[in-house]
Chain A
């Protein structure tokens, strides 16, 4: 089981979008994929084409959480965050503060094949949810926009992490027609040649259009640049997985 958390230090950089896209891509490649929504916004379901989900990780106790899972047409097992009452959510946060390994333990009790991949969409850092996801993950994929804010975040992260082996940076929403974006990409590639993925995900209206149509981007616009980029990241993840497995 290879657990990947998608985090970011800024909001709205595409964590949910990329989690949904990657899990579809991996599911289509025939991999066992478990997508977990660990963001109180509870939006991953929408991106995976399943709407209005009140039961999920936050609403179930003990090991019953897997019973709230769904299977998408791409073969992705998906556990929503759920729609807990404010009290329940608050209690969960307290629990997470006491035990950051809360999610890890739940995952470790799961019967999931070794070559399977778990993708966790979490809330932006700093947050309990984000920390819990990082704690559980073999690899944390930090998403950012090609702007100074995100690059600053990357910089702090790479300085703050003891090992660079379990983090990776990925730029999303890159528009090559913009000088700022091009320069940010160039800078990120050169500054973190090993940590930063060499290929970003490009800005593509097809992403939002696919969401609006309730379709996976791979169905909605096969040849979209964003679809191509997501495929690339999925392949990269698989390579990374087989490398850590060895």
Chain B
């Protein structure tokens, strides 16, 4: 029987379209239809049209076929990589502008009209002069009229109390808020320390008013779940209020200690033991640290370096012997790193110990910069320097914010430690620090009771009356944790350890500490209890949206005019106070990612501080494939789903069920939306970007000599370096391709300050004005010199934050918003991808079963299990 010709030709047409070569084979039809549509493999071969190619380059769209990427780049998130390349592309001017105009013009219109109008309301004066005058008054009063100062202080306190507790109706509160907002905007323009303080006070006024109002008028709740949940929310808010207050106190006046010069004669310089503890890190990681330590400027007979190998590896012993450093092992691994260090203390005798985690490479000036304070202040027992990471941490890598947005740790090392230092409450952070042996032995060595032995050790030293110091000069650098899960793991350890100290050696109890030391320690610990409050904030509006519970007993308008000043003013004050070290709204993102994971460990540690054991953060690994860490983001996806449903229900409430109170619904919807944004940002962190280099390249510009095979020597600058190779930036007029080609043998010479060091290398990449070099097999001596010429340079980390944009609260908000959107786009992409994958595999099964004689029941059960 033959088919009618029309059908036949139609079939043939489709077969041709689908590239079915044998129209009689059902297998091929199915294959083409479901598994490998012919258009898929051919798409990448299709070159994009010139316009599209240019546009995608300009916008930073990597895969031009991906619609969501276009949406993302066009509307929300201009790629920063693209921005730097933008001047190279010769796109018709104004094209991109015309494309995005609707969006940008809207924003500009708002800014152009509202911005100047608002700033016209703020008095214009010579702000620096005004600030200087303020300062002078304050000084005159403080020095010449101490009595007046006290009277003023008491009056101010009274006024503050009255102002923060007086009940007002909504109009009065509105006027009051507008007034202090206006005041803050004015103060914000004044430079200097005193205005920062004033901003903090204004912000506290708004926050105290808020908390007082919450406590006195909004807690009159219906008994039952809404009472319980309402108090829970209020407790969480009290926690944030307390942390805000303590945070202001802690960073009231950062000490910004400067290094003290050492005596000129070497004879007064003390002996130092350098401890490099290691457990399971590869030898590759520790080599650089050891070499850099050997290059530290210190009298050789007074400097001893030890590898403390808890892994007891033969390879490490051999290495230590070859390079000439000490090697210490112990029979057990009790108390992990703390135990390791304590064991080494018994085997060594130096007056001081300098401790470096095995991946923290010190600069040559470390000891000379840090040791001065110990000689000046005999009571000083510990000096900490910042931890700096030259590779992006998971946040920076996955969000593409490296060198643009201060990372999570920077607030601590940039500001909080300096603030602690004023109150003599600097704490030890486990690495990049110097400790005086005497006091350390007096407190029984490094503390072993908790998993954060470092902070606890400093606490014990402070309790004994010793002082601790912080020197905010980066004198060592290391690799950041590689993956998000490792990063979270590390933070979990810190959180648990801090909770343990809180239980076992609470800084508010016991003797030996000043009031402010207690405050500083407590705040640092309190910080790690942010998990539960954060989860409460992320779910609180759902109580209303889902169940219609009122957990704040008041009208929406009141919440708005009390809460907004509290939020806005604390953002303004924090942006001023810590903007250089933490951009606005990023704290929310960092905290939210950790919230879920630190909640349980901190709670458990609070209940039973002896539960659980120490874990080491893996370093030097590599994320080989771009992937989405589903496991980590699961709780957040759940929260997103809950919030998403909440928004759906909320819209229903707005239109039908609760149409009589639209304000409340809208407020809860807005809050949920904000939560969704933060959650989206948290989720986008979980999308691990691929890492390609094994040796992290550090961008740095130092002069170098490039010697070519023909005897020519060129004066060039490095672009970046790693322990495996070097990138050179050639001057414009020299073309790299004419100079050398891949495989050429060259020498490159770096100056160590006192000595020139030449390294044999091979060209691996020559392109325009860049030359990529890979070092040949280096001898131990050469490898040591290389470390000392690069990571160990005294100036290696100076200006590490140069060129980073300043914080602007609205800009921070915009950025967090776009990250949130990106998170959703990523989820959407992954879901689509896994759906298509699943569909394909289902189809493949069908095809296989068609061709094989298996029974149909067997087939369907398999398909179902796949689904």
Contact = CB atoms under 8 A, between A and B. Distances in A.
B755 A225 contact: no
A176 interface: yes
Contacts of A185: 755-756
Q: Among the interface residues A175, A223, A226, which one has the most CB atoms of the partner chain B within 10 A?
A: A223
B710 interface: yes
B478 to A, nearest CB: 29
A135 interface: no
A115 B786 CA distance: 43
B621 to A, nearest CB: 35
Interface in A19-74: none
A228 interface: yes
Interface stretch (B40-48, B141-149, B572-580, B713-721): B713-721
Nearest to B731: A223
B715 A177 contact: no
A221 B712 contact: yes
Contacts of B802: none
A224 B711 contact: no
B712 A204 contact: yes
Contact of B713 (A186, A189, A190, A225): A225
Contacts, number: 59
A182 B756 contact: yes
Interface in A156-212: 174-177, 182, 185-186, 189-190, 202-206, 209
B755 A186 contact: yes
Given A176-B756, A186-B755, A222-B733, A202 B712 contact: no
A227 interface: yes
Contact of A176 (B705, B712, B734): B705
A223 B715 contact: yes
A17 to B, nearest CB: 15
Nearest to B755: A186
Contacts of A190: 754
Given A182-B755, A182-B758, A223-B733, A203 B716 contact: no
Interface string A84-108: 0000000000000000000000000
Contacts of B731: 222-223
Given A176-B705, A204-B711, A205-B710, A223 B716 contact: yes
Nearest to A178: B758
A174 B749 CA distance: 12
Contact of B712 (A175, A182, A224): A224
A177 B733 CA distance: 26
A203 B711 contact: yes
A204 B712 CA distance: 5
Contacts of A204: 711-713
A235 B164 CA distance: 66
A206 B756 contact: no
Contacts of B714: 223-225
B133 to A, nearest CB: 41
B733 A189 contact: no
A4 B757 CA distance: 31
A177 B707 contact: yes
Contacts of B757: 176, 182
Contacts of A189: 754
Nearest to A183: B755
Interface string B677-716: 0000000000000000000000000000101001111111
A212 to B, nearest CB: 13
B747 interface: yes
Nearest to B710: A205
Contacts of A223: 714-716, 730-731, 733-734
Contacts of A175: 707
Contacts of A206: 712-713
Nearest to A199: B751
A202 B705 contact: yes
B712 A177 contact: no
Given A182-B755, A204-B713, A224-B714, 7 more contacts: A177-B749, A177-B758, A177-B760, A202-B705, A224-B715, A225-B713, A225-B715
Interface of A: 174-177, 182, 185-186, 189-190, 202-206, 209, 221-228
30 contacts: A174-B756, A176-B747, A176-B756, A176-B758, A177-B758, A177-B760, A182-B755, A182-B756, A185-B756, A202-B713, A203-B711, A204-B711, A204-B713, A205-B712, A205-B713, A206-B712, A206-B713, A209-B712, A221-B712, A222-B733, A223-B714, A223-B716, A223-B731, A223-B733, A224-B713, A224-B714, A225-B714, A226-B713, A227-B715, A228-B715
